[in-house]
Amino acid sequence: MAEATDQNGSTTPVPILRQVFAVVLAGGEGNRLKHLTRWRAKPAVPFGGKYRIIDFPLSNCVNSGIARVAVLTQYKAQSLIRHLQRAWNFLRHEVGEFIEIVPAQQRMGKEWYLGTADAVAQNLDLLRRHRPRYILILAGDHVYTMDYARMLASHVERRAEITIACIPVPLAQASHFGVMAVDEENRVVRFVEKPSQPEPIPGQPEMALASMGIYLFDAEYLYALLLEDRDRADSTHDFGRDLIPHALQRGDRLFAYRFVNEAGKPDYWRDVGTIESYWRANMDLCAIEPPLNLYDRNWPIWTYQAQRPPAKFAFDDEGRRGMAVDSLVSAGCILSGAVARRSILFTNTFLHSYSTVEESVLLPNVEVGRNAKIRRAIIDKHCRIPPGMEIGFDREADRERFYCCPQSGLVVVTPEMLGQSFRHYDPQEDF
């Protein structure tokens, strides 16, 4: 508990979680997801059969007891905004619970958001209006489940000014993250954003300690740091590149919070910022015991979903059997004498007879024609796969028609690549 003082000077106890204000950064372009972010922001990309990526950090907030949240948007935000309006309007502002959508508005000048820190700095008036004691900065494009209350407890116990959530990652992948070094008390002693030569963890030469892009600040400390950074001509106004290293140079109290499970092992967290990582994270859900548990009733992932009938599996003839194995099949799907193996089928997917789908992700409203075959592919919303078409079997043919990842060979298919127009889109559905 802490105390709040009203206009009459009297004080009342305030639960500590009600003193936290969460800011979700959801304005990035998401270029590495290629065609999946052509019409939508990365946090709005569908994931896991029925969710959007942003549902994970927002669900973490609500489940952690943090119910004052601002989502900062910028690029291609229409689909994201519509989803937030539909899925996240159940909080009650009358009792101090809300999720506000905050588009880039040039509130402090003529520039759009110049970096992650600048996005928060341009909304300092919003933050100050709510008078939080702590500010939690989150990325809107990561997939994980995490109790932020535990991170807050660690922050308070250590009297930290900044707490950074971290997790070990393979050294070969560490160049994509902020990499830190800590002492025996988990105080951060070095931090480099996306280093070309990441520093390994002592005793673990093949691993590096990576930032998860989750920062917890004392509010007044953050305000001062942001204003100081805004006046620095050499700054890119980014948390990882500028604010965190600058705070270290000043000798401020920065601590790492290790994201571990009950067994003390690193928990599940994925930056799904590339085609390969997005596909792999979806495939993780198809495992017999998936590392990300969507079935935990004590930690539900909230979302919006249209009212659709249950999934249907039709025909039981030899060679024409509607079935799905090691797959997630959402409401409104029909597998009419077709087979899906280790795949994710989003809402309203229709597989016609004798078609097969393997190790693939089919986003909502996809139709797969008779005798078509799909393997190791991501099929975007509203695609109509013609009868007999094969995807994922001939790399040269795939390159001529679709986007084919150079290393993995994963195929991405959009309606435009199939020469299909918008005429069959459901106006009630988002991009």
Cβ atoms of 207 and 191 within 8 Å: the answer is no
Average of pLDDT values for 391-401? 97
Cβ atoms of 134 and 223 within 8 Å: the answer is no
Q: Residue 328 CB: number of other CB atoms within 10 A?
A: 22
Q: What is the dihedral of CA 259, 278, 112, 414, to 10 degrees?
A: -170
Write down the pLDDT at residue 110: 73
Whose tokens are 């300690």? That residue is 209
193 is in an annotated binding site: yes
291-330 confidence digits (pLDDT tens): 999 999 999 999 998 899 999 999 999 999 999 999 999 9
Task: Say whether pLDDT at 350 is over 90.
Answer: yes
Order the strands of the 403-404 sheet from edge to edge: 328-329, 344-345, 361-362, 377-379, 411-413, 403-404
217-269 confidence digits (pLDDT tens): 999 999 999 999 998 999 999 999 999 999 999 999 999 999 999 888 999 99
64 is in an annotated binding site: no
Whose tokens are 């009203």? That residue is 6
Q: Residue 111 CB: number of other CB atoms within 10 A?
A: 11
9-31 confidence digits (pLDDT tens): 444 445 899 999 999 999 888 88
Alpha-carbon span 128 to 4, nearest angstrom = 15
265 is in an annotated binding site: no
C-alpha R_g of the chain = 23
Cβ atoms of 338 and 316 within 8 Å: the answer is no
91-100 confidence digits (pLDDT tens): 888 888 999 9
42 is in an annotated binding site: no
367 is in an annotated binding site: no
Is beta strand 46-47 parallel, antiparallel or unpaired with respect to 51-52? antiparallel
Paired tokens of 144: 């994980």
- Indicate the range of 8-22, 146-160, 331-345, 390-404 predicted with least confidence: 8-22
Q: Which domains does the chain have, with CATH numbers?
A: 14-286 (3.90.550.10), 312-418 (2.160.10.10)
Task: Say whether pLDDT at 7 is over 60.
Answer: no
- Cα 84 from chain centroid (whole Å): 14
DSSP for 193-255 reads ES-SSPPPBTTBTTEEEEEEEEEEEEHHHHHHHHHHHHT-TT----IIIIIHHHHHHTT--EE
59-95 confidence digits (pLDDT tens): 999 999 999 999 999 999 999 999 999 999 998 888 8
